[in-house]
Amino acid sequence: MYTIIVGCGRTGGELASRLSRAGHEVVIIDRSEASFANLSPEFTGFKLHGNAAELSLLEEAKIDRADVFVATSDDDNVNYMTSRIASCIFNVPRILVRINEPEKEILYEKTELETFSPTTLLAGQLANTITDNLE
Amino acid sequence: MKLILVGGDKATYYLAQTFAAKGHRVVLVNKDRDYCEELSEKLKALVVCGDGSQPSVLEDAGSRSADALLALTPDDPANLLICQLAREVFSVPRTFSIINNPTNEKIFKELGVEQVFNKTTLLSELVEQKVTSENIDTILSLAGGRVNVTQVVLTDDSPATNQKLEELALPPDSVIGTVIRDEGIIVPRGDTKLQADDELLVFTLNTNQGEVLEALVGSKL
């Protein structure tokens, strides 16, 4: 499986390391070279330094042959733009997007893209744990 | 018509002023609190201070009843998201965007932003047209390049210096919208006399821009 990950923060770095360890082909993109320190030593994929919202960089990442595209950066606007490019221009089969500000989720309602909001997930999990313990 | 202008720098003020002068309702959205204060002091427009890429901020700006939205931020991903929010969530009929990276033009169009103004391309076209004069600066090119907003600074030698507007032989389809003099703003009338160092904002068609600039400063594009 060929996966492109945008954003090498804690989440992106951990995800890239796990997929790489499991034997998948991974390209990770970040605009800060220092962020690649978030990758584990077992990461054997490809690191691309630059702005993922630039078409030329996504082309360099060979987005046209990606099976999965994951936008994990801390900039919702970049996540939106890159995931729309992956979907509308390159028809990447599976696209997952991190949403930092839950109110932006509304933009994805009419799309096929799978969204993950850490805030909503964590709050939901906490609420469930609390109410389960009450019962 | 109700227009929302999101982000942008100095040009935003002039744009807002132009639209307001034509009788349109203008709403400005800007992240910069100081600039927002300046804008609301100077303009008769609703100013919303906030990040226009947040749905709640666009909602506060009254997007649901807007006729058009123009995204002017220096960040292309933000411009794209703002236009898509406007169209898909708030059903704004027309969206326009400035793009900073010329390769994004194709992407914006493919993703449904109706009209893009490519800053880099516009500037490079101007350079190709050999705009070497230091006192002429095209600020905006609209309607696919058919309408231009040009900033002109008069010097002692300019033909228009010390002339009243009504004495200038300007072509019919051109307007001097604003005169900036000593930081003050003058909306000129026929009897307004122009002075050296006046900064004029001139609205022209691309067909008469050269003629207008020649009448004002003696050089043309």
CB distance B107–A76 less than 8 Å?
no
* Per-residue tens of pLDDT for chain B, all 221 residues: 899 999 988 878 888 988 888 888 999 999 999 999 999 998 888 999 999 999 999 999 999 999 999 999 999 999 999 999 999 999 999 999 999 888 888 888 888 887 888 777 776 666 655 444 557 777 777 777 788 888 888 888 888 899 898 888 888 888 898 999 988 888 888 889 999 989 899 999 878 888 888 888 876 54
- CATH, domain range B2-118: 3.40.50.720
- Domains within chain A, CATH numbers bracketed: 2-134 (3.40.50.720)
The answer to whether B86 and B64 are in contact (CB under 8 A) is no
CATH 3.40.50.300 corresponds to the domain B129-217: no
Beta strands in B66-190 (DSSP E): 68-71, 94-99, 115-118, 136-142, 147-153, 174-181, 184-186
A104 reaches B (C-beta below 8 A): yes
CA dihedral B106, B107, B112, B113 (to 10 degrees): -80
Predicted structure pTM score: 0.70
Q: What is the ipTM of this complex?
A: 0.85
Task: Check if B2-118 and B129-217 are the same fold.
Answer: no
Cβ-based contacts of B73 with chain A (< 8 Å): none
Distance from CA of A109 to the nearest CA of B (A): 10
**Closest alpha carbon within chain A to B85:** A107
What are the residue ranges spanned by the domains of chain B?
2-118, 129-217
Please count the CA atoms within 13 angstroms of the CA of A11 that sit on its side-chain side: 16
Q: CA of A105: how far to CAs of A86, A98, B11, B12, B64, in Å? A: 18, 10, 31, 29, 18
CB distance B80–A104 less than 8 Å?
no
Cβ-based contacts of A110 with chain B (< 8 Å): 88
